[in-house]
Amino acid sequence: MAECEALKSLRHRNLVKVLTTCSSVDYHGNDFKALVYEYMVNGSLEDWLHPTVGINEVDEAPRNLDFLQTLTRNLDFLQRLTIAIDIAHALEYLHNHCETPVVQCDLKASNVLLDDEMTAHVGDFGLAKFLSQHGEDAVTHESSSIGVRGTTGYAPLEYGMGSEVSVYGDVYSYGILLLEIFTGKRPTDDMFREGLNLHNFAKATLPERGVEITNPALLGEIEEGETSTNITRNQSRSSHIIHECLNLIIEIGVAWSQDFPGERMSISNVVPKLHFLREKLLKTRNRGA
């Protein structure tokens, strides 16, 4: 319960606020502890990346506003990049700016919630661990051999082999999530089998073929400036910049999801890289406005 209380003290614009904690006993007589989080009106990033409403459900579902909004949900390139930056800021705070460094241990799309302004907030600290020191060498002395920490596909390989929990585990999960945001592929997709995974799938497109694995929802935005008969110089440049940014994002996602922890950079390194890409994209859009 002490860790639950400590989590209440975490304050950052990109973390879901822990409102309170509670401790009780469940129906089987086991201790029960819970964290109560702030409500986020736009649901989870998972809801936006992978809408569950199928085309066959349209005629059967009630015609209410929430349903219609679900049908039209889509994140454009800039929104996805901004969300990725928000998540990186949250991890940077947890790893480097808390009195005791925190490893989230279960970073995935369903644990990233979006508020009314589509700002991303990292939540669900049920598996979070406090580390013994600051810096890149910070680890907890609790082994993960008691069970794989996190979620299959997002958890790093070393956790499954009993390695100590470290900030580099979150870095791996972030790299995988970044690839998911821009490819639209879950790390547990049926296509990933017999040695193929999201990391290798993305790596094969480097350095300049990232568009080949881009989420189909983004292709229209990317190709808009390439197929129009009335194409302007600014539209062409914008399309080129998006291609360039996409390739760099895929490169970052691959670099941060390396198999070996020592090959991954700290989360502090990704923040300025993504900010640079966002500013570059914004400048191009402003010229074309």
- Residue 106 CA from chain centroid, whole number: 11
Rg (CA), the chain: 20
Tokens 């400590």 belong to 6
Residues 140 and 103: their CA atoms lie apart, in Å, by 9
Give the pLDDT confidence of 92-116 residue by residue, as tens digits: 999 999 988 999 999 999 999 999 9
| Average pLDDT value for residue range 52-65 | 49
pTM: 0.85
What's the pLDDT score for residue 59? 46
Angstrom distance (rounded) from CA 251 to CA 245: 10
Please tell me the distance from the alpha carbon of residue 270 to that of residue 4, in angstroms, as a whole number.
29
Average pLDDT, the chain: 83
Res. 204: pLDDT tops 90: yes
Q: What are the tens digits of pLDDT across the range 22-53?
A: 888 888 888 887 888 899 999 999 999 998 75
Mean pLDDT for 212-226 is 75
Q: Indicate if the pLDDT at residue 57 is higher than 50.
A: no
Contacts 24+ apart (CB under 8 A), 70-78: 73/47, 73/48, 74/48, 74/217, 75/48, 75/49, 75/217, 76/218, 76/221, 77/218, 77/221, 77/222, 77/242, 77/245, 77/246, 77/281, 78/278, 78/281, 78/282, 78/285
Which of the listed ranges 144-153, 174-183, 263-272 does the model predict with the highest average pLDDT? 174-183
- pLDDT tens sequence across 251-261: 999 999 999 99
Active-site residues: which are they?
106
229 has pLDDT over 50: no
- Stretch 264-269: mean pLDDT, rounded? 91
Q: Span 76-288: which CATH code?
A: 1.10.510.10
According to the model, what pLDDT value does residue 132 have? 76
Angle subtended at Cα 1 by Cα 122 and Cα 125, rounded to the nearest 5 degrees: 15
For residue 84, the model assigns a pLDDT of 98
* Residue 55 pLDDT exceeds 50: no
More confident position, 7 or 47: 47
- Indicate whether 216 pLDDT > 70: yes
What residues have CB less than 8 Å from 39, skipping those under 6 apart? Answer: none
Q: What is the pLDDT of residue 29?
A: 85
Q: What is the pLDDT of residue 77?
A: 93
Q: What is the pLDDT of residue 58?
A: 44
Q: Provide CB contacts within 8 A for 111, sequence distance 6+.
A: 44, 104, 122, 123, 124
Task: Say whether pLDDT at 61 is over 70.
Answer: no
| pLDDT band, very low/low/confident/very high, at 134 (cuts 50, 70, 90) | low
Q: Say whether pLDDT at 145 is over 50.
A: no
pLDDT tier for residue 74 given thresholds of 50, 70 and 90: confident
CB 47 within 8 A of CB 120: no
pLDDT at res. 264: 94
Can you give the pLDDT at residue 199? 97
CA torsion, ordered 141, 142, 143, 149, to nearest 10 deg: -130
* Ranges of each domain in the chain: 76-288
